[in-house]
Each structure stands twice: as structure tokens, then as C-alpha cells.
Amino acid sequence: MSFQFVKSASCLEECPRDFRPEIALIGRSNAGKSSLVNTLANSRIAKVSQVPGKTRLLNFFSWNKVFYLADLPGYGFAKRSGKERVSWQKMIEDYLIHRESLKVFVLIMDIRRDWTEDEESLIRLFESRGAKMAVILNKTDKIGGNLKRETIKKMRAARPEIEFFLLSNKSKDGLQEIKKWMLHSLEAEL
Ligand SMILES: Nc1nc2c(ncn2[C@@H]2O[C@H](COP(=O)(O)OP(=O)(O)O)[C@@H](O)[C@H]2O)c(=O)[nH]1
Ligand SMILES: [Mg+2]
């Protein structure tokens, strides 16, 4: 598996233009998007932030020189101004709606958080694109095994059409299944 940082982009026009199949990692600030890039790469190529919400750019990584992985800025804006919120929305919606090579959506969330209207509207957006999608319930090392299994069972029952995965970036539990699903989904687009 080879991963390389390619570039950061602040708008759709700055995204790489060679149109390899692309996977977008989207989630609330602090959900573990950048950590997942590092776990997949088995090296620290993405910046993991201590201060939530600092990444304002789309960060592109090349995966085996065949695919792109885009690490998106986080949503969840309790501490942000209305103006910032609007500019995030514009950039992300522009990207999610118009990025042609975007084939796979991965929504990553902290397993301890509830599913909210934010997640709901993202899922609707993904569905309208007809792309493949998965939801990763991350930080499973933070809760017990029973609660972990119950949570994913509930999520699957509520949303049978969505693919759900469990992950801990800390123990790497769940990583192989996720990697396999991602590669399989992307390869289908070649
Ligand atoms: N315990 C635990 N901490 C995690 C896990 N994934 C990420 N973190 C921590 O959560 C914080 C936010 O992670 P980061 O990858 O920067 O989140 P991002 O904002 O979504 O990119 C960091 O302190 C990470 O070390 C996990 O699976 N388990
Ligand atoms: Mg990040």
C-alpha cells in the first residue's frame, strides 16, 4: 500500500484534475478522519489535530497511485461564526455535488455520538449522487464490547441500506474490513 500526500485545496477548482476514482472522508471535527488516513497509510502523513476544527482545506492523498483519498474539513460548528459555517457549506457542497471523480463516500463518526440532522443531510446528499457509501463508527476502544455491538446493530436496523463498520484507530480493530471495502468499491470504478 503506498500513500502520498498530494495537495491541499480550498475550493473545487484546486482539486487534482487527473480524475482518478476518489473516496471522500467526511465527519464532524475530531471524529478521526485524519487518524484514519494515517492508520490506512500506516504512517503519519495526515495532521491529527489536538484543537478541533482547525483544518479548513481538503487534503488529497494518493493511494497506490491509482486512487485519491480526500480528507475533508470537519463539520459541527458550535464554536464557529455564521460566516465560517456558510463558507464551509459552500465549499463542501460544491465538492460533494460537482466532483465527478468522487465515487465513494465515507462518513466517520465517534461511536459515542448520536446520529443528528447533520448526518442525515449528508446522507441525503450522498444518496442524491448515487455513490457508494459507508459509515464508520470510530473510537470503539472508548466503549465496552457489548455497547459497541448493540450500537452497530441499532444503526444497521435503522438504516439497512447503509454499510456500517466499527473502527478503532488506536487498536486498529476493524481496519482490514474497511480497507477491503474501500478498495473493492474503488476498483469497481476503474
Ligand atoms: N481513543 C481513540 N482516539 C482516537 C481515535 N481516532 C482518533 N482519535 C483521536 O481523536 C482526536 C481527533 O482525531 P483526528 O484524526 O484529528 O480527527 P479529525 O478532526 O476528524 O481529522 C485525536 O486526538 C486522535 O488521536 C480512536 O479510534 N480511538
Ligand atoms: Mg483532520
- DSSP conformation letters of 140-153: GGGS-HHHHHHHHH
Gap between the Cα atoms of 160 and 172, Å rounded: 25
Q: What is the pLDDT along the chain (190 residues), one digit of tens a residue?
A: 799 999 999 899 999 999 899 999 999 989 999 999 999 999 999 988 655 555 678 999 999 999 999 999 887 654 556 776 677 778 888 999 999 999 999 999 999 999 988 898 889 889 988 889 999 999 999 999 999 999 999 999 999 999 999 999 999 999 999 999 999 999 999 9
CA distance linking residue 74 with residue 32, whole number of Å: 10
Looking at residue 79, its pLDDT comes to 53
Minimal-distance CA residue to ligand 1 atom 3 = 139
25, 26, 30, best to mutate for ligand 1 pocket (most atoms within 8 Å of CB): 30
Domain ranges of the chain: 3-187
Closest atom of ligand 1 relative to the 37 alpha carbon: 15
What global pTM score does this model have?
Answer: 0.93
Written out in words, the top-level CATH class of the domain with range 3-187 is: alpha beta
Q: In what order do the strands lie in the sheet with 163-166?
A: 3-9, 58-63, 67-71, 22-26, 102-110, 132-138, 163-166
Q: Which atom of ligand 1 is nearest to the CA of 71?
A: 21
